[in-house]
């Protein structure tokens, strides 16, 4: 397999914009699975995705965090809002951990709530659930074109593999490899793949993840691309380290130009 060329893609923020799905599924999880354990939620507070949810998205690493953030935004007493957002983001991971302790929750529990919310929606209206994911058409076309050129394609998602596969199938994308959050950390997945494939590039919208790839002895040779169209913090594009290239959506062909 060592001669096979593989291009890796993150999913949400790179292939699709799933912000609507994350919001409505997280909101549904709060309403259906958390409301009994968490009183004083204003479930009907927002009809559309609130701006603050979009602004916090670049800090999120795992799906369960979306449920936690949605819960805080929907609280009737001391909600997470524009006045408290900056202080929350200054110590984002620590604040998420504090909230888990405060409510006696754990990350696996919240992830299950999110997964259950998705399963419920898929069973009741798959078409509507899929419509909440807005594809980046240029990326979809690029993936199809590189497969025709003989490249293998791998998708590494923080969604569950089953959910990711349903959306990809709807986009008529059938990658050789799909990994969900069940498969472990991205760096472990990529390290294992590097033993069997020539990884031509990895497209991701989380700068920290790309830095981890470059700092790992087994993956430091991989060309890393920061997706400019994804969920980026304002400072993410500044002073990129050697080995990470800022990729514009119109320049996707640069990945296979080397």
Sole residue written with tokens 């986009």: 171
Cα–Cα distance list, 69 to 5, 31, 47, 135, 239 (Å):
39, 14, 17, 24, 29
Distance CA 85, CA 82 (A): 5
Radius of gyration of the chain (CA): 19
DSSP character string of 202-219 = EEES-HHHHHHHHHSTTT
Question: Can you list the positions of beta strands (E) in 74-189?
Answer: 134-135, 152-156, 177-179
Check residue 12 and report its DSSP letter.
B
8 Å CB contact between 206 and 10: yes
The predicted-structure confidence for 178-234, as pLDDT tens digits, reads as follows 999 999 999 999 999 999 999 999 999 999 999 999 999 999 999 999 999 999 998
What pTM value is reported for the model?
0.90
Structure token pair of residue 78: 């001391």
The predicted-structure confidence for 45-88, as pLDDT tens digits, reads as follows 888 999 999 999 999 999 999 999 999 999 988 899 999 999 99
Q: 160 phi and psi, to 5 degrees?
A: -70, 150
The percent of residues in the chain predicted with pLDDT above 70, rounded, is: 97
Domains of the chain: 5-17+135-256 (3.40.50.1000), 19-131 (no CATH)
Distance CA 43, CA 88 (A): 21
């Amino acid at each position: 397999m060592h001669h096979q060329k593989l291009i890796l893609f993150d999913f949400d923020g790179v292939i699709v914009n799933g912000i609507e799905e994350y919001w409505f599924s997280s909101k549904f999880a709060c309403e259906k699975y958390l409301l009994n354990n968490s009183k004083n939620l204003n479930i009907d507070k927002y009809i559309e995705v609130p701006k603050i949810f979009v602004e916090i998205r670049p800090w999120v690493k795992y799906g369960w965090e979306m449920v936690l953030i949605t819960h805080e935004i929907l609280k009737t007493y001391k909600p997470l809002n524009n006045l408290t957002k900056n202080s929350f983001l200054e110590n984002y991971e620590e604040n998420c951990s504090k909230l888990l302790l405060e409510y006696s929750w754990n990350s696996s529990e919240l992830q299950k709530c999110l997964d259950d919310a998705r399963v419920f929606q898929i069973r009741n209206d798959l078409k509507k659930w899929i419509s909440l994911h807005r594809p980046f058409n240029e990326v979809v076309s690029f993936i199809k074109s590189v497969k025709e050129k003989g490249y293998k394609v791998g998708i590494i998602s923080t969604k569950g593999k089953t959910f990711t596969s349903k959306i990809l199938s709807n986009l008529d994308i059938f990658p050789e490899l799909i990994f969900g959050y069940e498969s472990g950390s991205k760096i472990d997945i990529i390290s294992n793949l590097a033993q069997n494939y020539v990884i031509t590039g990895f497209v991701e919208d989380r700068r920290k993840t790309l830095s981890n790839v470059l700092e790992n002895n087994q993956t430091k040779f991989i060309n890393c691309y920061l997706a400019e169209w994804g969920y980026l913090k304002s400072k993410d594009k500044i002073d990129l380290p050697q080995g990470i290239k800022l990729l514009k959506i119109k320049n996707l062909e640069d990945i296979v130009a080397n």
